[in-house]
Amino acid sequence: MKELSLHVLDIAQNSVKAGATRLDILLEQAGNRLTIMIRDDGCGMSPAFAAAAADPFTTTRTTRKVGMGLPLFRLAAEQTGGTMTIESRRADPADGRHGTCVTATFFTDHVDCAPLGDIASTIVTLLQGNPELALTYVYRSEAGETRLSTEEMKTLLGADVPLNAPEVLEWVRAYVSEPPGADSGG
Amino acid sequence: MKSLQELAEIRERMKGKVALREGENAIRIVVGMATCGIAAGARPVLNTLVEEVQKQGLSDKATVTQTGCIGICRLEPVVEVFESGKEKVTYVKMTSEKAKRVVTEHIKGGTPVYEYTIGEK
C-alpha cells in the first residue's frame, strides 16, 4: 500500500464485513508519532483468531487461504519502529458487548513511513459503500482537530437524503480535506 | 470553509429529487474493494466511477457498489458491470482513466470497452 489511508480503508472494510454498525476512525499526530485507531462494534474475533490475525495465513476470506490486510498494516507500522495491536471480543453474554479495535503507531520521520495520503477519499469510499454506518472520523494534531460524525450529518440531512448521495459525498471530501483547526463555523 | 450548515442546504436542494433516483437502476457497477483491490488502486477507480455516473447524468440508470475479493487478485482493480438481460462484463487492471471511458462508452453508450475486459489480451 502506497498510503496509510489505504490501510485505513482496508482495515475498515474488515469492520464492515464483521457486521459493524458503528465505526470510529481516530488519527492523532503528536510530534513525530502518528497513531491510527480503527474501532468497530462488529462480531469480534475469538482470542485465538485475534492473536493469529496478523499472520498472513489466517483469514476469513473464502476465495483463498491468505489474508494480507492486517499483516500489511502491521508491517507498515513496524518498519517505522512502531507497533500494531488488536483488541477484540466476541459477544459477551454478560453485557453483550463485542467488536474489534486495531491500533497502530507510526514514526512519521522514519524514512520507511508511508505518507498518510488521501484520507478524504478513504472516508468518502466508506460512506459510499455503507451509508447506514455510524461513522466517526477524528483527525487530531497540534494544529487542531477535524471531526466528522455521520450521526450529526444525518440530523441535518433528514431521513430522505442518503449519506452516499453525490452532493453529500462531495461535501464530505471537501470537509475532510480541510486542514485541521480551520474553524468549522457551525 | 465547509460547515455542517451546508448539509441543511443540500437537504433543501434535494427535496423531491431523491425519490426520482430510487427508480429502477438497470445497471449495477461493482468494484472489488478487498485488500488486493485497494492495494492495486481500486479506491480512485471507485471514486471516478461514482463521480462520472453523476456528472454524465446516469444516476437513475446505474448504481456503483462495492464488494470483497472477486478472486482474480492479480488482475485488480476489477470492475464488474451487471445489466439485466445481458451477460456480465468484467473489466480488469482498471484505472481512473479507463473508468471514465467505461462510463461514457458502456454505461452511457451501451457498448462495452472490450479492450479492457478480461477476455482481451
Q: What is the pLDDT of residue B24?
A: 63
pLDDT for res A86? 94
Is residue A124 in a domain?
yes
pLDDT band for position A60 (50/70/90)? Answer: confident
Q: Is the pLDDT of residue B19 over 60?
A: no
Per the listing, cell 475486459 goes with: B117
Q: Judge: B7–A69 Cβ closer than 8 Å, yes or no.
A: no
CB contact under 8 A, A129 and B13: no
Least confident of A71-85, A167-181, B12-26: B12-26
Contact (CB<8Å) B3/A68: no
| Chain A residues inside the 8 Å CB shell of B14 | 160-161, 165, 167
Q: What pLDDT is attached to residue B30?
A: 97
Residue A95: inside a domain: yes
How confident is residue A58, by pLDDT bands cut at 50, 70 and 90?
confident
Question: Across the interface, which of A125, A157, A183 has its CB nearest the CB of B43?
Answer: A125
Q: Would you call A63 and B13 a contact, using CB atoms and an 8 Å cutoff?
A: no
On whether the CB atoms of residues B38 and A6 are closer than 8 A, the answer is yes
* Backbone φ, ψ for residue A49 (5° rounding): -70, -40
Percent with pLDDT over 90 in chain B:
75
User: Looking at residue A54, what is its pLDDT?
Assistant: 82
Q: Say if residue B115 is exposed, middle or buried (CB neighbours under 10 Å; 0-12, 13-18, 19+).
A: exposed
In a domain, A107, yes or no: yes
CATH at A135: 3.30.565.10
Contacts A–B by Cβ distance under 8 A: 109
Per-residue pLDDT at A12: 97
Question: What is the rounded average pLDDT of the residues A94-107?
Answer: 93
Instruction: Show residues of chain B in contact with A156, CB under 8 Å.
Output: 4-5, 7-8, 11
| Mean pLDDT of all residues in A87-93 | 87
> How far separated are the first and last CA of chain A, in Å rounded?
36
ipTM exceeding the 0.85 mark: yes
- Tell me the pLDDT band of A104, cut-offs 50, 70 and 90: very high
For position A186, what pLDDT does the model report? 45
Q: Does A69 touch chain B (CB under 8 A)?
A: yes
CA nearest to B55 within chain A = A166
Q: What's the mean per-residue pLDDT of chain B?
A: 90
* pTM of the predicted model as reported, rounded to 2 decimal places: 0.92
Task: Give the cell for residue A138.
Answer: 477524528
Tell me if chain B has a CB within 8 Å of the CB of A152: yes
Q: What is the side-by-side order of every strand in the sheet holding A144-149?
A: A84-89, A99-107, A33-40, A22-30, A134-141, A144-149
Instruction: Tell if the CB–CB gap between A61 and B68 is shorter than 8 Å.
Output: yes
Report the pLDDT averaged over residues A69-75. 94
Helices then strands (H, E): number in chain B?
Answer: 5, 4
pLDDT of residue B43: 98
A68 — phi, psi (to 5°)?
A: -105, -5
pLDDT over threshold 90, residue A93: no
The answer to whether A61 contacts B73, with C-beta atoms less than 8 Å apart, is no
| The CATH classification of domain B22-116, taken from the options 1.10.3720.10, 3.30.70.100, 1.10.287.3510, 3.40.30.10 | 3.40.30.10
A30-34, A62-66, B17-21, B44-48: which has the minimum mean pLDDT?
Answer: B17-21
Domain range spanning residue A17? Answer: 4-177
For residues B70-95, give the mean pLDDT: 94
Number of domains in chain A: 1
Looking at the predicted structure, is the pLDDT value of residue A182 above 70? no
Residues of chain B with a CB closer than 8 angstroms to some CB in chain A: 1-8, 10-11, 13-15, 18, 21, 33-36, 38-39, 43-44, 46-47, 50-51, 54, 59, 64-66, 68-71, 73
Report the pLDDT averaged over residues B18-32.
75
